[in-house]
A and B are shown apart, each in its own frame.
Chain A
Amino acid sequence: MDSEQKSRRDLFKVGAALAGTVALGAVGKAQAQHADHPTTPGSENDAPMIHGSKEQIEYGQRSKYVNSVRVQHPIGGRPSPDVFGKVFHVASPLQDSVGVITPSSLHYIATTRGSFLPDIDPKLHTLTIHGEVDRPLTLTMDELKRFPSVTRLHFIECAGNRHNGKQKNVQDTHGMTSCSEWTGVLLSTLLKECGLKGSAKWFVAEGAEEVKGASSIPIAKGMDDCIIAYGQNGEALRPQQGFPVRIMVPGFEGIYHTKFLRRIKVTKEFYMNYNEFGHLTQEDKVLALGEQIGPKSVITYPSGTQRLPGPGFYEISGLAWSGAGAVKTVEVSTDGGKTWNRAQFKNTPQRMAHVRFAYPWKWDGSEATIMSRTTDDVGQRQALREEIAEWWKVPFERDYRVPGLDNSVMPWKIANDGSVSNGLA
């Protein structure tokens, strides 16, 4: 297309925009947009313009060529949404992720029982703290925001984030975790304001949704780093993440991070809520593995169902995290675990946050199994399924179920033709 043709086409476009708009203000906008981004004469880039709609101006949308979406996660086999419009488990598209922040629109979702999302008017919502405190306290959302705040990067992961040989891609195997920047008030700030009694040992965090989902959390955790969060990635929490306020319990399983938080009751003893009944096990050891999340990592590129176009250079990339602290190291193996190589970090590891790791690799075009493992700053190392079975002194079988949350190593197989598949299959 020559430049004359191009400018004629552009003129036509402006004409169409003029004809199509009624409001004078909108006409002005369309012209302004065009004037700001003129097509360079002779440019090879003849892409059509995105005209500034009200929606695009007010709350931006991604390119129509980017179509990464969440999908229902198969835990429990329940559809999301179901016929009633309830949501149960929805997984984040980790295969397309870059960096460490999960866009709020793509954050994984899990609900207590498969529930509706309450459409809460923040002006009517309050948070009450009571129980083993000197002064019970009720706060409106505006009052909560008057307290000194913190902003921190934290992941959340659902207990159902388990990988097995049947899953096809990393969204199915690991998509029930996400990482956001959360803003809110430290629970310790509020508990000090209430005057925590010496008798305080646990607290119950309760939500305002129809099932009033509640979890018991050790007070030592509450005084350390729990956040009463109202912000996510620079804006208000999404309803799917607990608008107007949720508790962040960094490093604990997702179910502890009570959404739509309405009440915190500080208690002298352990209260077994329905959520804790869900964790009920015969052994203390297994119970301990279902609270704080272990060190975990996964390669997101190349991963299941992706395809390497041919031999040559690739940057193997993935995410690593731990519920105990910050990630210290990540190692990558490209020979099925025979040798391990130190990966690079793409951002500074933070406590209970995803870190993006990478390993430069030249694929020679032959079959390969790639995997990653991480060690955190309290010395825990992510294990292979075989190693975990050995610790429990049980025979290792293909369908071995890791006790507690499954943080075992995830292998991906690369075939001669570059296609990537589940290494556990």
Chain B
Amino acid sequence: MASRNCAMTLAMSTLLVVAISLLLGSSAFAQSPTYGVGRTPTAEELRRMDISISPTGDELPPGRGTAKEGAQLYVQKACVGCHGVGGSGGLAPLLASKKEADVPVWKKERILPLRAPYATIVWDFINRGMPLGLEGTLKPDEVYSLTAYLLFLNKVIPEDQVLDKQSLPKVKMPIGDQFGKPHEFKVNAPRLEGYPY
């Protein structure tokens, strides 16, 4: 009997220890860092660094621009040198469709300011990736203006439309909802169930 009691006490105390350590472990995990290495970036650092623009445009900075201003910048910033007059005829990718307006968008050329599902991607790419060799030097007003110009060239917006943080994410792109959406990724699963058998 004594030994049985002893065994039970041991088992119970083991359980208790496990329970306590689980509790401590999980709370430590959820609320504080495990390793404590590195530092917290400041809000200002994050604001400067964060150039990813969501479809809703949350990260867009203040500023504004129109296609008319963009047309001037397109020459001043030498975009015209690589992309050609009016967005075509250059060595760099085509920026203005050569097809008739009534041609469906998927039958038109693969042009960012035409086929992009969100106008914010156009802003994002000009801001981070242009002009060649001087990437990241454009000011927000200039990026809004150039975006407006390229959207105007592809007949997506009228020439006098002002683009800013509020209006840019609302631009209706010609593609509408007609594009493939990413599926939910699952670990250790085929890329496409049943393909190709």
Contact = CB atoms under 8 A, between A and B. Distances in A.
Given A218-B185, A224-B187, A289 B192 contact: yes
Interface in B29-70: 29-31, 33-35, 37-41, 45-46, 49-55
A325 interface: yes
Interface string A125-137: 0001010000111
Interface stretch (A240-248, A278-286, A357-365): A278-286
Interface stretch (B95-103, B118-126, B145-153, B157-165): B118-126
Contact of B135 (A146, A211, A274, A288): A211
A285 B190 CA distance: 12
Residue of A113, A136, A204 ringed by the most chain B CB atoms within 10 A: A136
A280 B115 contact: yes
Nearest to A376: B190
B196 A388 contact: yes
Contact of B34 (A193, A221, A285): A193
B178 A137 contact: no
Contacts of A128: 41, 45-46, 49
Chief secondary structure at chain B's binding surface? loop
A191 B46 CA distance: 17
B92 to A, nearest CB: 10
Nearest to B118: A272
A274 B127 CA distance: 11
A390 B135 CA distance: 46
A352 to B, nearest CB: 11
B43 to A, nearest CB: 9
Residue of B49, B135, B191, B192 ringed by the most chain A CB atoms within 10 A: B191
A274 B35 contact: no
Nearest to A325: B188
A87 B52 CA distance: 25
Given A138-B39, A192-B29, A378 B52 contact: no
Given A147-B35, A224-B187, A287-B181, A136 B128 contact: no
Q: How many A residues touch the partner, as a band?
A: 35 or more
A277 B187 contact: no
Q: How many B residues touch the partner, as a band?
A: 35 or more
A273 B195 contact: no
Given A211-B135, A274-B125, A381-B197, A282 B179 contact: yes
Interface string A162-182: 000000000000000000000
Interface string B100-138: 000000100000100111100100110011000101100
Interface in A278-310: 280-289, 291-294
Interface in A375-412: 378-381, 383, 387-388, 390-391, 404
Nearest to A281: B180
Nearest to B125: A274
Interface in A95-130: 113, 128, 130
A269 interface: yes
27 contacts: A128-B45, A136-B40, A137-B38, A137-B40, A139-B37, A140-B38, A146-B35, A147-B35, A147-B37, A195-B30, A206-B52, A212-B51, A218-B184, A220-B184, A220-B186, A221-B185, A263-B49, A267-B54, A273-B124, A274-B125, A282-B106, A291-B191, A292-B185, A378-B188, A378-B189, A380-B190, A388-B196
Name the 9 nearest CB pairs between A and B, nearest first.
A287-B180, A218-B185, A391-B196, A292-B191, A139-B38, A211-B129, A138-B41, A212-B128, A284-B180
Interface of A: 113, 128, 130, 135-140, 143, 146-147, 192-195, 204, 206, 210-212, 214, 218, 220-221, 224-225, 262-263, 265, 267, 269-274, 277, 280-289, 291-294, 323-325, 378-381, 383, 387-388, 390-391, 404
